[in-house]
Amino acid sequence: MRLADLDYELPPELIAQEPAAERAAARLLVLAQASGHLTEARVADLPRVLRAGDLLVLNDTRVIPARLRGMRPSGGRVELLLIRRLGPASEWEVMARGSPRLGERLHLPNAEGEWLASLGDGRWRLRITTREEFDAWLTRVGEVPLPPYIRRAHGPSRVDGERYQTVYARVPGAIAAPTAGLHLTPELLAGLATAGIEHATLTLHVGPGTFLPIRTDDLERFTMEGEYYDLPGATAERIARTRAAGGRVVAVGTTTVRALESAARGEMLVPGPGNADLFIRPGHRFRAVDVLLTNFHLPRSPLLALVAAFAGWERLRAAYATAGAERYRFYSFGDAMLIG
């Protein structure tokens, strides 16, 4: 399969700019994996769409306010996206827009930065010296890093900060949300439990590996950038018990899929931390996931390749065509699919 195969037409007006009025009110397109049959529902219908004995696996990462705006000594503006801490708490790998220079100072709100090294491809090692505790400072001055296709005239709002976060977000470290989970609410999770559908959690900190585009037409040559994950032993045990009892593992989002498939060794899951650098594309044999809840993804992206591997590209292409014709909302704040 080549990159050009992972393409589809999408009218720009179908790219969701705002979340649904209520999380669970989003539309849900259900794709039967075996037959390709499509049915329409709402995310709120999951207790009747799934089966008693199924287990939802959720990614409990929490998005940090990773976007910062600074100024060079010359007065030029610089926009930063914090990627990950590098050793000392004050040193970060960042994506930078605005022509940084090695050794130059960077003026930030109530803080100073120094460019320590170029890491290539628009990334830098930056030391940030703050006048207060770093995480408190970042919470106060940083912005939610919304995807570039969500347009805000004056930057992200307080509503974005709440809605671009799952209700079960717990472990800070992501620079983008695991968006399939944005549809779930405490009430819906309680309703699922009443229907015999429990949930368990893992952590994968969403980083550039999730959202950077594929830059080669030969998918065999693409290397996925790794992202930190941690699979608790209790979650691995619950998955094993679920399958032994005939239940299905329902991955909420592609990040959950990547964590579980990265932890799979044969038919077993190895708990603990790891680096999810597995590029899942058509031809992959899934070992840990039976059902996938996911949003609609960008063309030519690693996420679309993963979903194509799970559903089959021709069936997925037909489902996307239906979603477009029926005016489903696409991408992070958009509607959802259930494949299984």
CA–CA gap between residue 239 and residue 243 (Å, rounded): 6
Residues 186-211: pLDDT tens digits? Answer: 999 999 999 999 999 999 999 998 98
Model confidence at 99, in pLDDT bands (50, 70, 90)?
Answer: confident
The yes-or-no verdict on residue 213 having pLDDT over 80 is yes
Question: In the prediction, which pLDDT does 273 show?
Answer: 98
Question: In the prediction, which pLDDT does 90 show?
Answer: 87
Q: Locate tokens 């040193």: which residue?
A: 91
Superfamily classification of domain 67-142: QueA-like (2.40.10.240)
Q: Which residues pair with 82 in a beta bridge?
A: 94
Q: What is the 3-state secondary structure (H, E, C) of 108-129?
A: ECCEEEEEEEEEECCEEEEEEE
152-168: average pLDDT: 85
Residues 270-307: pLDDT tens digits? Answer: 999 999 999 999 999 999 999 999 999 999 999 999 99
291: nearest Cα among 113, 55, 11, 118: 55
Architecture of domain 3-63+161-339: 3-Layer(aba) Sandwich (3.40)
The yes-or-no verdict on residue 159 having pLDDT over 90 is no
Structure tokens at 151: 């347009």
The yes-or-no verdict on residue 222 having pLDDT over 90 is yes
- Domain spans of the chain? 3-63+161-339, 67-142
The yes-or-no verdict on residue 121 having pLDDT over 90 is no
Residues 327-338: pLDDT tens digits? Answer: 999 999 999 999
